[in-house]
Amino acid sequence: MRSIFSAAPLLGALALSGCTSIERIHQNMNSSEATDAKARQQIQKLTSPSPVLREAARQWVNPTPMMDRAAIKKATPPCIAKRFNFSYNIKN
């Protein structure tokens, strides 16, 4: 009878330590299930057909100006200009 009471604290400590590891296992399982669900949503988004063009709520204007003829003249080497008959008589 005395040995049962002396072993009781040891058995209690083992039972409590087992509960924390089981809780940690459940937390890891819940975390992996949430990650799995998120990954499945991303895969479904990638595999579902989506329109190539999207309608914007407002008009978009490109702030970068297009190259003007003077800039093209400066960027084009003379050998290419002669080959493709670029005119160097460009007025701005």
Instruction: Give the model confidence (pLDDT) of 34-70 as tens digits.
Output: 999 999 999 998 888 877 777 888 888 888 777 777 7
DSSP letters for 27-80: HHHHHHHHHHHHHHHHHHHHHS---SS---SS-----SPPP-HHHHHHHS-HHH
Q: Taking a C-beta distance cutoff of 8 angstroms, is the pair 60, 50 a contact?
A: no
Report pTM: 0.39
pLDDT band of 32, cuts 50, 70, 90: very high
pLDDT band of 5, cuts 50, 70, 90: low
Query: Rounded to an integer, what distance in angstroms lies between the CA atom of residue 3 and that of residue 44?
Result: 61
Query: Rounded to an integer, what distance in angstroms lies between the CA atom of residue 63 and that of residue 78?
Result: 30
Looking at residue 36, its pLDDT comes to 96
Tokens 């058995």, residue located: 11
